[in-house]
Structure 1
Amino acid sequence: MTTSAATTTETPSVSQTKTGIRFWRRLCRNRLVTVGLVIIALQLFTAVFAPWLTTYDPTAQDLAVKELPPGSEGHWLGTDEYGRDMWSRLVYGSRISLLVGISSVVLGLVGGVVLGLLAGYYRWLDGPIMRLVDLMFAFPGILLAMLVIAMLGTRLINVVIAISIWSVPTCARIVRGSVLSLKDREYVQALRSMGAGDGRILFKHLLPNCAAPIIVFATMRMATAILSTSALSFLGLGAQPPTPEWGAMIAAGRDYMWTAPHLTIIPGVAIMLVVFAFNVVGDGLRDALDPHMDVTYES
């Protein structure tokens, strides 16, 4: 009896472990996903340990060494038009990209998930919420962000708010679609018959079952958020000088394309690699979280 009880207790844990192993095997069997995970890990590492990875203040000017090419002594990525070290500015710029990206995606998820749950579960709220979502979709995302920043001002916190508002309608539609497909399932009907409240059904049972598409959306939205942050800074609506932000670095270096092309190439490559990484990881998560992939993998 003791052995049987122990086996019964261990079975769910063993099953979850095997499921996790299969998930990681499916995720990492794509080499592009592995490359993307490495790039994201490197960005996180450089953002967290920026003070220990740099020897120069990213905003300190030294006109005696301005526009040095990459490989120069003491400045292996060169210097900008004010003599500021490009490596230091690139590393500290990754902090801003991650901070704005994560903050805007989290805020967008909160608003989108709440609206999506309400629209999918309550029929009387579906119409008004979806018309609001359609109205938000009527504005191109970047123009909507520019409108918000024009009203609130050019500060990074306002960039976060603008990009998070841009993320809400897509997230709301994704969650609404998942809830509509789940709310009439047998287990939801059983919960209602047992007297479970709407809040418990929504947040304890329906929301966890919507986790897979939300995770995929959040990962791929990080790429959009980082790219949008750089675009707004390039237009002068995001980070302001001398803040080391990748889009602002490209904007400042475009006047030196012929004399010092590294001023735009280096931050441009950084944006390209990070956006690529989040996109391929998002694609990999979508495939790995697809329940039908179990059959394909096992065969």
Structure 2
Amino acid sequence: MTTVETVKLKEKKREKYIVTTAKRLFKNKLAILGLIIVVLQIAMAVFAPMITSHDPIKQNLAASELPMFSPEHWLGTDNYGRDVWSRIVFGARISLVVGSIAVALGLVGGIVLGLLAGYYRKLDAIIMRFVDLLFSFPGILLAMLIIAVLGTSLVNVAIAISIWSIPTCARIVRGSVLSIKEKEYIMAMRSMGASDLRIMVRHILPNASAPIIVFATMRMATAILSTASLSYLGLGAQPPTPEWGAMISQGQAFMWSSPHLTIVPGIAIMLTVFAFNVLGDGLRDALDPNMDLQE
């Protein structure tokens, strides 16, 4: 078989795999529901200025604590007269941006450590002991410790959550590398004189992408929930930033007089976390190669 024929065969297999994966995913109704919610959240964050008519941080004390379904404020206002719907919409932008940055940084660190640990036996023990050290701290406490050192801000929240994500990602990547590097085509690449970097980046990493994609999707849920938790504790977004966790913290003092100040952002967090979790579950099933044997 010529090189051109081999490339065409690989392309056909890749196309077939993508189509099969998409079919499996679209059979999972719960995963599709999660995908729809995620797409709506992203659209809401991107087009936030176009779908809101109020400034999320502008105060209007004359219209404070208006109930839901008020004429100009259909989700009511908070104790400073700020429109709750506008703050929810702009809060989606903050949650998705901070979560995406945290997951991206965590993936970079985890992939690098996982590749090195799985490919080089001499580095494996050293890197895994470092990973075990990170695992010895409860995640939220580790994030709180990092923020205590760096200071309270959303940027530092993203950094803290990314460091918390590194050990899990590193273990996932390492496990995949250990199995892939013993494949015949990897041994053939070595015998042809391919460099270790080329083998890891061009051949091992793409074949380990499925568990990484699933991890990234489900980690987004954890990152968004962690961002809200840290902001609720006063370690993340600071007033008057429209962040969901901070909104719950500020609204709990008015739980009896204006319960919507706490309930609405709580529902926003719940729906977003639910959507990413069920989407991650669906992707895990769709990308599982063992599903071919069951179908």
TM range (shorter): over 0.9
Question: Alignment identity in percent?
Answer: 67
1:55-108 Cα deviation digits (max 9, x unpaired): 000000111111111100110010011100000000000000000000000000
- In structure 2, give the amino acid aligned to 1:45: A
Q: Which whole-Å CA distance do the structure 2 matches of 1:251 and 1:201 have between them? A: 49
| Cα displacement (A) at 1:21 | 2.5
Q: What is the match of residue 53 of structure 1? A: 51
The amino acid across from 1:192 in the alignment is: R
Q: 1:185 offset after TM fit, Å?
A: 1.4
- Deviation digits for residues 131-169 of structure 1 (CA, Å, limit 9, x no counterpart): 000000000000000000000011111011000000000
Partner Cα distance (1:41, 1:93) in 2: 16
Map 1:79-228 onto structure 2 (within 5 A): 79-228=77-226
Q: Go from structure 1 to structure 2 and tell me whether the alpha carbon gap of 1:212 and 1:262 turns closer, same or farther (over 3 Å shift).
A: same
Query: For residues 94-129 of structure 1, what are the alpha-carbon distances to aligned partners after superposition, in whole Å with 9 as ceiling and x for unaligned?
Result: 000000000000000000000000001111101110
The DSSP-based 3-state class of the residue aligned with 2:98 is helix
The farther-off stretch of 8-17 and 230-239 is 8-17
Q: Which residue of 1 aligns with 2:272?
A: 274
- How far apart, in 2, do the equivalents of 1:77 and 1:290 lie? 42
The separation in 2 between residues aligned to 1:81 and 1:294, in whole angstroms, is 56
Q: How does 1:210-289 map to 2 (within 5 A)?
A: 210-289=208-287
Q: CA RMSD in A?
A: 1.6
**Residues 144, 193 of structure 1: alpha-carbon distance in 2 compared, 3 angstrom cutoff:** same
2: CA distance, partners of 1:24 / 1:204 = 24
Which one-letter code corresponds to 2:58 in the other structure?
A
The amino acid of 1:162's aligned partner reads: A
Q: 1:224 to 1:9 in 2, by over 3 A?
A: closer
Gaps of 5+ in 2: none
Alpha-carbon separation, structure 1, partners of 2:258 and 2:112: 48
| Alpha-carbon separation, structure 1, partners of 2:119 and 2:11 | 32
Distance 2:176 2:35 in 1: 27
Query: 1:18, CA displacement in angstroms?
Result: 3.7
In 2, Cα distance between equivalents of 1:17 and 1:174: 25
Write the distance in 2 (CA, Å) between the matches of 1:166 and 1:8: 42
Count of matched residue pairs: 292
What amino acid is aligned across from residue 151 of structure 2 in structure 1?
Answer: G
- The alpha carbon displacement at 1:20 in A equals 2.4
| C-alpha spacing 1:25/1:12, structure 2 compared with 1 (3 Å) | same
Q: 1:206 to 1:10 in 2, by over 3 A?
A: closer
What's the secondary structure of 1:231's corresponding residue? Answer: helix
